[in-house]
């Protein structure tokens, strides 16, 4: 098993870990109405063109464009009103030359017409006759058959997280079910003899369990299903039993270990005993979160996080979230919501180690934004709660200067 303090850069550690995970994605078909936030497991192809008929984009009169050429307010064109297009039905009449038909937004163009004149550019001169005050070109104010999508066109790629727009598009195509990646089940184990449930008043030397709940929220937001296994005592027997149960029921097992090196070593040993290849990473060159453990066994993923709440949550963002993305079939990288801001204070860092610093981003009186570092120890959860973003100090830098522009990774709302 790799020795602790054989530290890897975060990106190298993550790549090594993800390369050992299974590449297939488990799938399920679910109602489209319940699919927002889920990830497509296959490309979605349009079963028919959309729209399936030529329709008007405005209220007005369906015409033959050639009949309106030269029309203006000084020299209008007069067309014979043939009929009104019924909404939600196919017109049962044809518009002949020099004729027109009253049509409403979304209505189907009747045969013989190829454009629509907006009602604002018309007036009724006498019964059965419409005065056209503006010419239109062929196809003007008309949506053509298949203009949105054509039959057989890929409308949603594989590996796309479905938003409201995609849900609407699927419903417009009559696709009431969609094949999606099954949400990975994530077992969350919080260990430590000093940890007690949040509803219990801690005795001296005890602390309430924070990690179970912060990590559950992070997992759910990332598309996983959190399954909690309670607070695990710091004994090999208890840890082995809890990890084995979580392994049988989940695709990813996340353990937050206690502060002592012996507890971290126990977590790594238990993970390594689950099967091949075992522990791949035991220590990451990042602050906070150096004692991170990454393991794979029998197509299950295991991540050991620091016990301190701030460290656990920051590292979960760097490793748990990308792992869930891989399990869902999402691309390994996504556009991070970042905001340029000017740093308000000097920040020092140790060269060779990547640092992540919580910051509070606020509008600057001079325009733009400034980022104020939030300082606090890694076991103080409100250090992170007071922040609304993180900034990264690269491993090849020894700090950042006040006034320097930084890219702030904004927390999800």
Does residue 2 form part of some domain?
A: no
> Average pLDDT of 29-46?
96
Residue 413 binned pLDDT confidence (cut-offs 50, 70, 90): very low
| 349 confidence band (pLDDT: 50, 70, 90) | confident
The verdict on 61 and 91 lying in the same domain is yes
Confidence label for 3 from pLDDT (cuts 50, 70 and 90): very low
How many other C-beta atoms lie within 10 A of the C-beta of residue 45?
14
Counted residue by residue, the chain has a size of 413
- Within its chain, how far is the Cα of 189 from the centroid? 25
Q: pTM for this one?
A: 0.78
pLDDT of residue 55: 96
The model's pLDDT over 76-130, given as tens digits with 9 standing for 90+, comes to: 999 999 999 999 999 999 999 999 999 999 999 999 999 999 999 999 988 999 9
- How far is residue 106 from each of residues 48, 65, 137, 152, 392, measured CA to CA in Å? 18, 19, 19, 24, 51
Q: Tell me what pLDDT residue 61 has.
A: 98
Of 32-36, 143-147, 267-271, 409-413, give the lowest mean pLDDT range.
Answer: 409-413
Of 145-159, 296-310, 387-401, least confident by mean pLDDT is: 387-401
Residue of 343, 300, 336 whose CA lies nearest to 317: 336
Last residue of a domain, one of 85, 115, 143: 143
For the sheet containing 252-256, what is the strand order?
225-232, 185-191, 252-256, 300-305, 293-297, 277-282
- Give me the number of domains the chain comprises: 4
Return the DSSP state at 34.
G
Residues 306 and 250 in one domain: yes
| DSSP 3-state percent helix, strand, coil across the chain (nearest 5) | 20, 35, 45
Q: Three-class SS of residue 208? A: strand
Q: Which of 143, 164, 198 is where one domain is finished?
A: 143
Pair (231, 175) in one structural domain: no
- Domain identity same for 286 and 397: no
318 and 197 housed in the same domain: yes
- Cβ(202)–Cβ(208) below 8 Å: yes
User: What is the full DSSP assignment across 196-234?
Assistant: E-TTSPPPTT-EE--HHHHHHHHHHHHT-EEEEEEEEPS
The residue among 207 and 137 whose pLDDT is bigger is 137
Q: How far apart are CA 337 and CA 408, in angstroms?
A: 8
72-75: list long-range contacts, CB under 8 Å, 24+ apart.
72/133, 72/134, 72/135, 73/133, 73/134
Q: Identify which has the larger pLDDT, 354 or 73.
A: 73
- 173 shares its domain with 37: yes
* pLDDT(365) > 80: yes
Question: What are the φ/ψ torsions at residue 266 (nearest 5 degrees)?
Answer: -60, -45
Q: Tell me: the pLDDT tens digits for 226-284?
A: 999 989 988 899 999 999 999 999 999 999 975 455 666 788 999 999 999 999 999 88
Query: What is the distance between the alpha carbons of residues 403 and 259, in angstroms, rounded to a whole number?
Result: 36
Phi, psi of 107 (to 5 degrees): -70, 155
Q: Domain range spanning residue 217? A: 10-26+183-328
Query: Out of 155-169, 239-253, 276-290, 316-330, which region has the weakest mean confidence (pLDDT)?
Result: 276-290
Only one residue has tokens 């990690």, namely 211
Residue 4 lies in a domain: no
Tell me whether residue 16 is in a domain: yes
Half-sphere exposure of 49 (CA within 13 A, CB side): 10
**Residue 66 included in any domain:** yes
Other C-beta atoms within 10 Å of 239: how many? Answer: 22
Model confidence at 217: pLDDT above 80: yes
Tally Cβ neighbours within 10 Å of residue 30: 14
Q: What CATH number is associated with residue 70?
A: 2.170.190.11
Helix (H, G, I), strand (E, B) or coil at 382: helix
Mean pLDDT of the chain: 89
Closest to 31 (Cα-Cα) out of 171, 183, 157: 171
Same domain? For 381 and 350 the reply is yes
**Is 286 inside any structural domain?**
yes
* Residue 193, in any domain of the structure: yes
pLDDT of res. 260: 52
For position 313, which CATH number holds? 3.40.980.10
1 part of a folded domain: no
Q: How far is CA 78 from CA 63, 100, 167, 397, in A?
A: 11, 10, 45, 76
DSSP 265: H
Rounded to a whole number of angstroms, the distance between the first and last alpha carbons of the chain is: 39
Residue keyed to tokens 């990890």: 243
- H/E segment holding residue 367: none
- For residues 316 and 259, the model is more confident at 316
- Whether residues 307 and 219 fall in one domain: yes
pLDDT of residue 275: 92
Among 186, 188, 162, 184, smallest CA distance to 175 is for 162
Residues 44 and 59 in one domain: no
Query: Is residue 226 within 8 Å of residue 285, measured between CB atoms?
Result: no
Backbone angles phi and psi of 131, in degrees to 5: -95, 120
Do 384 and 304 share a structural domain?
no
386 and 253 within one domain:
no
> Is residue 379, in this structure, part of any structural domain at all?
yes
CA distances from 409 to 248, 360, 379, 391 (A): 35, 11, 21, 6
CATH of the domain at 396: 2.40.340.10
- 280-308 mean pLDDT: 89
Q: Interhelix angle for 10-19 vs 321-328, to 10°?
A: 30
| Nearest residue to 123 (alpha-carbon basis) of 139, 144, 100 | 100
238 and 304 together in one domain: yes
CATH number (domain holding residue 169): 3.90.105.10
Q: What is the mean pLDDT of residues 335-348?
A: 81
Residue 2 has pLDDT above 50, yes or no: no
Q: What percent of the chain has pLDDT over 90?
A: 60
Task: Measure the CA–CA gap between 382 and 376, rounded to whole angstroms.
Answer: 9
Closest to 247 in 3D by CA, of 264, 231, 270, 263: 270
347-348 and 399-400 as β-strands: parallel, antiparallel, unpaired?
antiparallel
Read off the tokens for 105. 């937004």
């Amino acid at each position: 098993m790799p020795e602790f303090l054989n530290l890897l850069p975060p990106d190298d550690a993550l790549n090594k870990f993800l390369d050992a995970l299974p590449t297939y994605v488990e799938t399920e078909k679910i109602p489209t109405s319940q699919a927002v936030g889920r990830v497509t497991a296959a490309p979605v192809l349009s079963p028919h063109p959309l729209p399936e008929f030529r329709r008007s984009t405005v209220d007005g009169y369906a015409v033959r464009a050639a009949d309106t050429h030269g029309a203006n307010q000084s020299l209008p064109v007069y067309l014979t009103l043939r009929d009104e297009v019924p909404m939600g039905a196919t017109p049962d009449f044809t518009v002949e030359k020099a004729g027109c038909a009253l049509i409403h937004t979304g209505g189907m163009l009747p045969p013989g017409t190829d454009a629509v004149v907006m009602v604002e550019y018309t007036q009724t001169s006498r019964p059965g006759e419409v005065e056209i005050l503006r010419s239109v070109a062929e196809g003007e104010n008309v949506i053509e058959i298949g203009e949105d999508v054509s039959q057989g066109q890929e409308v949603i790629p594989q590996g796309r997280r479905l938003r409201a727009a995609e849900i609407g598009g699927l419903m417009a195509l009559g696709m009431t079910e969609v094949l999606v990646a099954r949400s990975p089940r994530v077992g969350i184990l919080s260990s430590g003899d000093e940890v007690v449930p949040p509803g219990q008043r801690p005795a001296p030397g005890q602390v309430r369990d924070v990690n179970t709940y912060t990590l559950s929220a992070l997992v759910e937001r990332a598309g996983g299903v959190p399954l909690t296994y309670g607070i695990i005592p710091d004994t090999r027997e208890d840890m082995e039993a809890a990890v084995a149960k979580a392994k049988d029921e989940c695709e990813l097992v996340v353990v937050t270990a206690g502060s002592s090196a012996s507890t971290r070593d126990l977590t790594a040993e238990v993970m390594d005993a689950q099967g091949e290849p075992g522990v791949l990473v035991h220590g990451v060159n990042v602050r906070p979160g150096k004692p991170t453990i990454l393991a794979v066994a029998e197509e299950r993923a295991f991540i050991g996080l620091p016990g301190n709440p701030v460290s656990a949550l920051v590292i979960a963002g760097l490793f748990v979230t990308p792992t869930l993305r891989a399990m869902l079939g999402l691309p390994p990288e996504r556009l991070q919501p970042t905001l340029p801001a000017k740093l308000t204070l000097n920040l020092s860092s140790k060269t060779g180690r990547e640092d992540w610093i919580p910051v509070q981003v606020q509008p600057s009186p001079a325009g733009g934004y400034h980022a104020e570092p939030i300082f606090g120890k890694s076991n103080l959860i409100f250090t992170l709660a007071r922040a609304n973003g993180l900034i990264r100090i690269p491993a090849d830098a020894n700090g950042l200067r006040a006034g320097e522009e930084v890219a702030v990774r904004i927390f999800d709302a």
